[in-house]
Amino acid sequence: MALVSKLPSISSSSPKFRKPNSFKLNPVRSIHCTPNSPSPFTEKHSIERYNRDNWVYKSQLEQPDSCPVAPDPGSIRDHEIAAQLPELKRLLEVLREKRESTGGGERGRGPGNVFLVGTGPGDPELLTVKAVRVIRCADLLLYDRLVSNEVLDLVGPDARLLYVGKTAGYHSRTQEEIHELLLSFAEAGANVVRLKGGDPLVFGRGGEEMDFLQQQGIQVQVIPGITAASGIAAELGIPLTHRGVANSVRFLTGHSRKGGTDPLFVAENAADPDSTLVVYMGLSTLPSLALKLIHHGLPPDTPAAAVERGTTPQQRMVFAELKDLADKITQAQLLSPTLIIIGKVVALSPLWTQSSKEASSLVEAR
Amino acid sequence: MALVNKLPSLSSSSPKFKKPSSFKLNPVRSIHYKSNSPSPFTEKHSIERYKRDNWVYNSQLEQPHSFPVESDSGSIREHEIEAQLPELKRLLEVLREKRESSGGGERGRGPGNVFLVGTGPGDPELLTVKAVRVIRCADLLLYDRLVSNEVLDLVGHDARLLYVGRLLGTIAEPRSVYAFMGISLYEEIHELLLSFAEAGANVVRLKGGDPLVFGRGGEEMDFLQQQGIQVQVIPGITAASGIAAELRIPLTHRGVANSVRFLTGHSRKGGTDPLFVAENAADPDSTLWSVGTPEHTQQRMVFAELKDLPDKITQAQLVSPTLIIVGKVVALSPFWAQSSKEASSLVEVR
């Protein structure tokens, strides 16, 4: 986790942290970044996260002896967590004092507000008006890899950003610490926002976070977001349901509890040529999923599309018939997050015809 | 269809048309409306639509003889259509002249922009930032019953609003006054979009919820694309997401539901097909969302076990728009526990 204040703009024209060479801080340790294809989705070692989290490194500079330069990403994360807690506790105290001094002010004695906010597939314009409002008023925002950098740029200058992505080295006790944190901040009257990519209640594990908080007596408000299926279908011009083509649409996830086989049981029921299938986080299970679908009766030439980083400037798309999809995805080297749409509706996209004319099926729309 | 200008504010403090007594026009004919429970969704004879469409009645005042006062809603609609066309053609001409006079201006010679915009379940705060931007810049907006009045309040002053809600008749073949010419109402709407787009206007087709999930957005896109007009789609919060957030029901949940399926309650022939829904409800690990349309503001909910659901819905007299959610996840909602404690299962949230 990394707790940061949002940095003031570096230059008046560019609030976005996309120009590392204009940044004056020297890195404490070497940060691996990929300047060729900057991800719109925060990656642990991306330059944006470094910039955003730089206050952490600064405080570590002040105490160099407590900070071994370890290249292991797991232990970097642990150190970050250790480094956060004092600062967070200070913040909590500040909020409590503020609350006591304002007395029966606006926030009064009640708990603060905790929101689960869907941030959509990546394009910040696809946030709801309500989401933007809540984000701007938030004191503390928790986010992960699926929240794009541009969305994070919307937070207020005094807000604290906390990265809670799941990476190697993430322990279950840390999950508990996060929940305790949310709780403490809420009780101190803060506006706490848990940002979730897409829609928080569709494969976002939003339910689990709500559960925990509700058990502690904290009411969570959910602000829906444009789920990846909607955002990407709109982008590609693919109607998820269409008269005479698809009378239902089904969302599946490629992830499962045990890590691999569960979605395939769904394949039996999902091999319906009159239904559209949308698979979230399905890159690794796609090859077996495709085979299973075909085995259960879905025509092998069913049109399909795989979209990486949909609705962002880095969007890449692969169009193929179901039987060829896995290969084409591999050739194109698509990465997570990638959404897969399988069904006759895919052929309704103007991009489908375009892709079949080109030698390569990789379409870069932007 | 009814073509209107957005009326300027009646008073500085209240741009919404919710105070009929301050309105000075006299209705041409008696309009039936339900004053007890005003719907946030535009109803054909609601007072809001009357006000929005009042210019029509104005012009009818000028030609009283051409308008028999019939209470049959179908023919009222037909007469409205008749009344719209001249105005629309005038508007089209205005736009064309404007375009020619501005020459190679911003819009140049290319077609205007046509957008299919999802307006979400009803709450205008649930529009995307992009949707709001596009709505504000639109010249012509087509809307139907599933677009809430509050969303319509966002349109610019000079924008034209066109109500294209379904006529009486089946979904498949809405009646049209031009039936004798063999043109269906949908085709008329499409032709209109086309003409305006070619004239360089920003045309927006508003759809409740998300345009590509049971919005028949695909058909409208098809037609326009065949004519060479590119349509841009702006997604919206589909009913399921909006209501899930409201009820705090996760659509998917670890160990409870690993997939979610959206079905329509309508069959191709028109009308609900409960058998279809039931057949598809068989997978216990999937959450089933049967889409009617979403509710807002006057939201009412019925919770029940699947076997009791049809009866409870009838008892509560729920009317369209209604969304049906089937699945174990429903029990995760704090409202589920609340409803089982009450004698009646009808929950009124607001």
For residue B161, give the CATH number of its domain.
3.40.1010.10
Q: Does residue A18 form part of some domain?
A: no
Q: Determine the pLDDT at residue B312.
A: 67
| Strand, helix or coil for residue B220 | helix
Based on the fold, state whether residues B229 and B115 are members of the same structural domain: yes
Q: Does residue B6 form part of some domain?
A: no
Interface list for A 200-219 with B (CB within 8 A): 200-203, 205-208, 210-211, 214
Q: What would the pLDDT profile of A10-69 be if each residue is shown by its tens digit?
A: 333 433 333 334 333 333 333 333 334 455 554 444 445 545 554 444 444 444 444 444
Interface list for B 25-84 with A (CB within 8 A): none
Based on the fold, state whether residues B227 and B86 are members of the same structural domain: yes
- The CATH number of whichever domain residue A275 belongs to comes to 3.30.950.10
Q: Do the chains contact at A128 and B334, CB–CB below 8 Å?
A: no
State the best of A201, A243, A349 to mutate against chain B, taking most chain B CBs within 10 Å: A201
pTM of the model: 0.71
Based on the fold, state whether residues B310 and B230 are members of the same structural domain: no
- Taking residue A207's Cβ as centre, other Cβ atoms within 10 Å add up to 25
Q: Are B286 and B261 in contact (CB under 8 A)?
A: yes
Measured over all CA atoms, what is the biggest interatomic distance in chain A, rounded to whole angstroms?
69
**Which residue in the block uniquely carries the two structure tokens 């494969």?**
A203
**Alpha-helix residue ranges (DSSP H) falling in chain B:** 47-52, 54-62, 73-102, 129-136, 149-152, 185-198, 217-226, 239-247, 274-280, 309-316, 334-341
Q: CB under 8 Å to A211, separation ≥6 — which residues?
A: B332
Set of chain A residues whose Cβ sits within 8 Å of the Cβ of B252 = 201-203, 207, 251, 253
State how far residue B249 is from chain A, nearest Cα, in angstroms: 8
Based on the fold, state whether residues B144 and B224 are members of the same structural domain: yes
Interface list for A 306-365 with B (CB within 8 A): 345, 348, 350
Q: Which domain holds residue A259?
A: 229-348
Q: Say which DSSP state A202 is in.
A: S
Q: Which one has a higher pLDDT value, A203 or B281?
A: A203
Based on the fold, state whether residues A222 and A243 are members of the same structural domain: no
Active site residues of A: 144, 166, 281
Question: What would the two tokens of residue B33 be?
Answer: 């409306």
The answer to whether the Cα torsion of B127, B13, B47, B134 is positive or negative is negative
Q: What would the pLDDT profile of B208-256 be if each residue is shown by its tens digit?
A: 899 988 777 788 788 777 777 788 999 999 888 888 898 888 888 877 7
Set of chain A residues whose Cβ sits within 8 Å of the Cβ of B238 = 227, 230
Q: Which one has a higher pLDDT value, B166 or A50?
A: B166
Q: What would the pLDDT profile of B41-73 be if each residue is shown by its tens digit?
A: 544 434 444 445 444 434 444 444 443 443 344
Cα–Cα distance between A356 and A351 in angstroms, integer? 9
Last residue of a domain, one of B237, B261, B286: B237
Q: Say which DSSP state B17 is in.
A: S
Q: For residue B217, give the nearest of A210, A222, A239 by CB distance.
A: A239
Nearest CA in chain B to A256: B258
Q: Determine the pLDDT at residue A145.
A: 82
Q: Do the chains contact at A266 and B259, CB–CB below 8 Å?
A: yes
Report CA Rg, chain A.
22
Q: Are A365 and A351 in contact (CB under 8 A)?
A: yes
Cα–Cα distance between B212 and A239 in angstroms, integer? 5
Q: Determine the pLDDT at residue B96.
A: 74
Last residue of a domain, one of B212, B237, B262: B237
Based on the fold, state whether residues B207 and B286 are members of the same structural domain: no
The total of structural domains in chain B comes to 2
pLDDT at A295 over 70: yes
CA distances from B314 to A81, A116, B317 (A): 55, 34, 5
**Top mean-pLDDT range of A182-196, A256-270, B279-293:** A182-196
> Looking at A193-202, A281-290, A310-319, B194-203, which range is the least confident one?
B194-203
Separation of first and last alpha carbons in chain A: 33
Tell me what percent of the residues of chain B surpass a pLDDT of 90.
9
Cα–Cα distance between A124 and A312 in angstroms, integer? 9
**Top mean-pLDDT range of A90-104, A321-335, B21-35:** A321-335
Predicted confidence band at B19 (pLDDT cuts at 50, 70, 90)?
very low
Interface list for B 245-304 with A (CB within 8 A): 245-246, 248-256, 258-264, 268, 280, 283, 285-286
Last residue of a domain, one of B237, B256, B273: B237
Q: What is the ipTM of this complex?
A: 0.74
Based on the fold, state whether residues A291 and A204 are members of the same structural domain: no
Q: Does residue B26 form part of some domain?
A: no
Q: Determine the pLDDT at residue B338.
A: 66
Q: What would the pLDDT profile of A254-272 be if each residue is shown by its tens digit?
A: 765 544 445 555 666 778 8
State how far residue A261 is from chain B, nearest Cα, in angstroms: 12
Q: For residue A230, give the nearest of B133, B235, B263 by CB distance.
A: B235
Angle A357-A360-A361 (CA atoms, 0-180°, nearest 5)? 80
Q: What would the pLDDT profile of A108-134 be if each residue is shown by its tens digit?
A: 445 568 899 999 999 999 999 999 999
Q: Determine the pLDDT at residue A169.
A: 39
**Which residue in the block uniquely carries the two structure tokens 């795989």?**
A306
Based on the fold, state whether residues A141 and A188 are members of the same structural domain: yes
State how far residue B275 is from chain A, nearest Cα, in angstroms: 14
Q: Do the chains contact at A239 and B221, CB–CB below 8 Å?
A: yes
